[in-house]
Structure 1
Amino acid sequence: MRPVSSFYYWWLSCGEHTSVFCKMNSGLRRRLKKQCIKNISALLREELITLLEEEVGKGKRIWTRKWLRDRSVTGASALLLQQLRLEDPSEYRMALRVTTENFDELLSLVHSKIQRNDTLMRDALPAKIKLEVTLSFLATGMSYRSLSHFYRVSKPSISVFIPEVCRAIYEALKQFIKVPNAEEWKNIETGFKTRWNFPLCYGSIDGKHVPIKAPPSSGSLYFNYKKTSSIVLLAVADHDYCFSYIDVGACGSASDGGVFKNSSIYRKLENNLLPNNGVIVGDAAFPLKTYLMKPYPGVNLSTEEKVFNYRLSRARRIIENAFGILVSRFRVLEKPIQTNLEAVDAIVCACCALHNWLRKTTTSYITATCVDVEDEEGNFLPGSWRSQIHALQSIANQGSNHSPRIAREKRELYKNMFMNEGSVPWQLRSIH
């Protein structure tokens, strides 16, 4: 049993002197009060120190596990990644999807947003490790627990800072995903015309279901037509596999009609976003508009209609390849993301921003073999991404089959042009 403290004995003795204290003059009483308070403070301090020493001695609480405290010596950041950075830069790029130079640049862009201050209780986790953990997560889709063991960072900390770092990445790189200016529109149109033989085309549009873990009590809100839970990523790609527009977060169940019509790009397209009366191209899921060309439906098509569909599919293949490269580089998108919805949105946006940034600033992000190509005779050669991943599910029909007459007439103009002055030598071979 704990011994009775000296403070307790002092308190018992106070009653014996009460009558004497009352008979003293006021000045003497004030001096005595001050002395008593001083004595009480000293006794309480001594008592508190004794209690703390006893609690520490019991050893019941460990602030940080020992294997986590060894992070700076045995964690992946200190050992493996440092060795790869010095000895094998190509494997470093495979591990984090960025070169060492890319990493250093990205760290300088996000450092001030993700670095916290040290406290009296512990040192803050370095921004460098936060970025390494986040890039590993995006590149592999590794579980938080596996990341915790690999980097020696606690799982609760990882679950907090990964969404924060993803938001910081998107904020730092969002300038690489923007509606093109006049000069950029011109470059995109030239690219589609010379590389994909589709004049006055300013982009390729598609939407994909990003698999997620259904939120609690969400019912069928995120349950899509493929009977999985998802959010929708709607995007427009330019001629060079970069996203010029993204819309993230629509519910998977909304795919039957609302995703495109409720997006901001729809309103801009309706208000003449594209220059020179140009178009973007999409698959059969999208409505036929004066600014959006889609294939002729059905199977009993004329030769002219088949040629148009073939030529449109070549241009539309850009967005399909952009999505394929995105998922092959950032495997977190390949399987259900096990986070809350706000974090999912941040993760998807960060992946898209990194995709554009790396495509525009490095030559190694997309190689000649990883995208679909056609040889000189028009034979289709699939990109390597098709054999590496499970492609994201496409969204369902985004409009009715009833299209404006002026839109149908515009498609007819393209059809006739592709059979005359705009024809390519291999197109008839490619439709049979």
Structure 2
Amino acid sequence: MYEALDKYLQVPDKREWENIQVGFHHRWNFPGCCGAIDGKHVVIQAPPNCGSEYYNYKGTNSLVLLAVVDHDYCFKYVEIGSYGRNSDGGVFQASSLYPVLENGSLLPEGGFLVGDDAFSLKTYLLKRYPNEPTIAEKIYNYRFTRARRIVENAFGILSPFRVLAKPIQLQEETAIKMIRTTCVLHNWLRKSSLHTYTPPCSIDYEDIVNFTTNLGTWRSEINALPSIARSRINNRSKFAAEKLREKYKFFLCNEGAVTWQNYMINNN
């Protein structure tokens, strides 16, 4: 089945990355964003004599699914196979995605991903301001969250697949193919059966009249995929990345502002 639907999960070319940027700009008001990155544990039955390699902080054995999602909740890059004990940051640095982001050959000029606190701040990977942010930083964090929430929801939509609801009892290679197939099916259903597969209430949505965020029904599902543990690697930000985030914050508070952002941060 995966081979038959292979076209629904391919790493974008330059033109498609640019189209994704346009989507994040128009739909989520976060210009320049090319995708949201995150990782989840998929629980498996550990192979014999594997030691603790698959054992994660949740007390289960798992493989890690690392993914980049576009503005329409579709997976554009997935890598499966890192051991469950690894963090998001460690999985990311060991992935095939990391070197092409580091050398600048993947994304359009000025393009970037958004990720959570497990990832290091980079010029190609923005993240939230931590601790107790200023008003300007709260505005940035609010706008950032609107973009990063897409990957949370994509994983939430994916989690009800029955194969993911209990430990996968297959050889690792077969398990990886099965997990990848669920991502392909997800993309196909998003394209072919949008309103049946993901009715509006199933994903988070904002009410910019009453200035509230309404959580999708997937968040109450007991089978939601567990997140990866926070990274233990050195997560100090580089100067250029910090300057870029500061510049972006200034933009979002001025010419890039949306009319409801102050109401949203005050109401939440």
Partner of residue 205 from structure 2, selected from 369, 373, 376? 373
The DSSP-based 3-state class of the residue aligned with 2:36 is: strand
Partner of residue 109 from structure 2, selected from 276, 290, 305? 276
**Mean Cα displacement is larger for which, 239-248 or 269-278?**
269-278
User: How many residues get paired?
Assistant: 262
Counterparts of 1:256 and 1:289, CA distance in 2: 15
Q: Structure 1 residues 257, 236: CA separation in 2 closer, same or farther (over 3 Å shift)?
A: closer
Kindly indicate whether the alpha-carbon contact (under 8 Å) linking 1:327 and 1:389 is maintained by their aligned counterparts in 2. no
Q: Structure 1 residues 335, 264: CA separation in 2 closer, same or farther (over 3 Å shift)?
A: same
Residue 215 of structure 2 is matched in structure 1 by 382
Alignment of 1:188-203 (within 5 A): 188-203=20-35
Deviations, residues 159-212 of structure 1 (Å, cap 9, x unaligned): xxxxxxxxxx22222221112123322221111111111001110000001111
Kindly indicate whether the alpha-carbon contact (under 8 Å) linking 1:200 and 1:276 is maintained by their aligned counterparts in 2. no
The DSSP-based 3-state class of the residue aligned with 2:55 is: coil
Residue 122 of structure 2 is matched in structure 1 by 289
Q: Write out the 4+ residue segments of structure 1 that deviate beyond 3 Å after TM superposition.
A: none
Q: CA deviation at 1:338?
A: 2.1
Residue 243 of structure 1 is matched in structure 2 by 75
Counterparts of 1:250 and 1:320, CA distance in 2: 20
The DSSP-based 3-state class of the residue aligned with 2:256 is: coil
Letter in 2 for 1:368: P
The DSSP-based 3-state class of the residue aligned with 2:37 is: strand
Higher helix share: 1
Residue 354 of structure 1 is matched in structure 2 by 185
Kindly indicate whether the alpha-carbon contact (under 8 Å) linking 1:206 and 1:283 is maintained by their aligned counterparts in 2. yes
Counterparts of 2:92 and 2:62, CA distance in 1: 16
The answer for unaligned runs of 5 or more in structure 2 is: none
Residue 342 of structure 1 is matched in structure 2 by 173
Q: CA deviation at 1:286?
A: 0.9
**Mean Cα displacement is larger for which, 343-352 or 241-250?**
343-352
Q: CA deviation at 1:412?
A: 0.5
Residue 242 of structure 2 is matched in structure 1 by 408
Higher strand share: 2
Matched, 1:219 2:51: yes
Which structure would you say has the larger Rg?
1
The DSSP-based 3-state class of the residue aligned with 2:244 is: helix
Q: CA deviation at 1:257?
A: 4.3
Counterparts of 1:336 and 1:229, CA distance in 2: 8
Q: Give the RMSD, CA atoms, in angstroms.
A: 1.5
Counterparts of 2:88 and 2:158, CA distance in 1: 24
Letter in 2 for 1:356: N
Counterparts of 2:6 and 2:234, CA distance in 1: 34
Counterparts of 1:426 and 1:346, CA distance in 2: 43
State the TM-score, normalized to the length of structure 1: 0.58
The DSSP-based 3-state class of the residue aligned with 1:232 is: strand
The DSSP-based 3-state class of the residue aligned with 2:183 is: helix
Counterparts of 2:86 and 2:115, CA distance in 1: 19
Q: CA deviation at 1:331?
A: 2.4
Alignment of 1:160-179 (within 5 A): 169-179=1-11
Residue 391 of structure 1 is matched in structure 2 by 224
Partner of residue 13 from structure 2, selected from 181, 185, 195? 181
Partner of residue 419 from structure 1, selected from 236, 253, 265? 253
Kindly indicate whether the alpha-carbon contact (under 8 Å) linking 1:224 and 1:255 is maintained by their aligned counterparts in 2. no
Alignment of 1:81-92 (within 5 A): none
Kindly indicate whether the alpha-carbon contact (under 8 Å) linking 2:88 and 2:119 is maintained by their aligned counterparts in 1. no
Q: Structure 1 residues 382, 267: CA separation in 2 closer, same or farther (over 3 Å shift)?
A: same
Kindly indicate whether the alpha-carbon contact (under 8 Å) linking 2:35 and 2:114 is maintained by their aligned counterparts in 1. yes
The answer for unaligned runs of 5 or more in structure 1 is: 1-168
Residue 163 of structure 2 is matched in structure 1 by 332
Counterparts of 1:176 and 1:285, CA distance in 2: 28
Answer 1 or 2: higher relative contact order, Cα 8 Å, separation at least 6: 2
The DSSP-based 3-state class of the residue aligned with 1:411 is: helix
Letter in 1 for 2:97: I
Residue 93 of structure 2 is matched in structure 1 by 261
